[in-house]
Amino acid sequence: MSCAGATAVRSLWRLRTAAMRPLPAYGSRSGVRLSSSGMTLDSINRAAVDRIIRVDHAGEYGANRIYAGQMAVLGRTSVGPVIQKMWDQEKDHLKKFNELMVAFRVRPTILMPFWNVVGFALGAGTALLGKEGAMACTVAVEESIALHYNNQIRTLMEEDPDKYEELLQVIRKFRDEELEHHDIGLEHDAQLAPAYAVLKSVIQAGCSVAIYLSERF
């Protein structure tokens, strides 16, 4: 592994060490509750939870569209099963946030149609660079998502870790799976993609913009 690769791995390991139960689909205003915590529609910080669920739903939707684009190009190649396995996990993530959207009555971002197109285009476009390009995209996106999830974990821990216990469990689990995808990308030659450092930086800048907009609109 290159020095850059070793640095990336060490950095992501620090992310891991930084600081589920299904939810009911609906309930009364005060009755929507995670099973063992005090998290209800009345007791939570609605503004913070709305932002978290809305942006995470948008992010998981975008990730699904990226993997769909990659599979459209590389699905019949030797790396197809690897991409499909990661995509299947992202489908589970999106399903959970769909449930959370309903349970906590959070509206989706108005930018969903845009992320639909942009996500697929990013996945397909990087896959056209070859396996390495697709994996470079995976590394860039999953690293950004892991950092974002860590920020959310920190926010909820500072506010009330007991109240938000199950939501924290969901976010931690998904963060760890995103980090697994990141590592898979490195293992499948992401750093051999054309202009890897530039490509990664551009994608991560786009991720930062997407996170900012999806939290607010």
Q: Is 182 annotated as a binding residue?
A: no
* Local structure of 109: helix, strand or coil: coil
Q: In this predicted structure, what is the pLDDT of residue 192?
A: 95
**Predicted structure pTM score:** 0.78
**What length is written for the chain?**
217
For residue 70, name the pLDDT band (cuts at 50, 70, 90). very high
**Is pLDDT at 176 greater than 50 in this prediction?**
yes
| Eight-class DSSP state of 21 | -
- Per the CB < 8 A criterion, the answer to whether 4 and 191 are in contact is yes
Tell me which of 16 and 187 has the higher pLDDT: 187
CATH level 2 (architecture), domain 44-215:
Up-down Bundle (1.20)
Residue 37 in this model has a pLDDT that exceeds 70: no
Q: Coil, strand or helix: which one is 187?
A: helix
According to the annotation, is 159 in a ligand binding site? no
Residue 4: the pLDDT is 44
Give the list of residues 6+ apart from residue 198 with CB closer than 8 angstroms, or none.
none
Residue 10 or residue 80, greater confidence: 80
Residue 142 labelled as part of a binding site: yes
- pLDDT of residue 2 exceeding 50: no
Task: Please check if 60 is assigned to a binding site.
Answer: yes
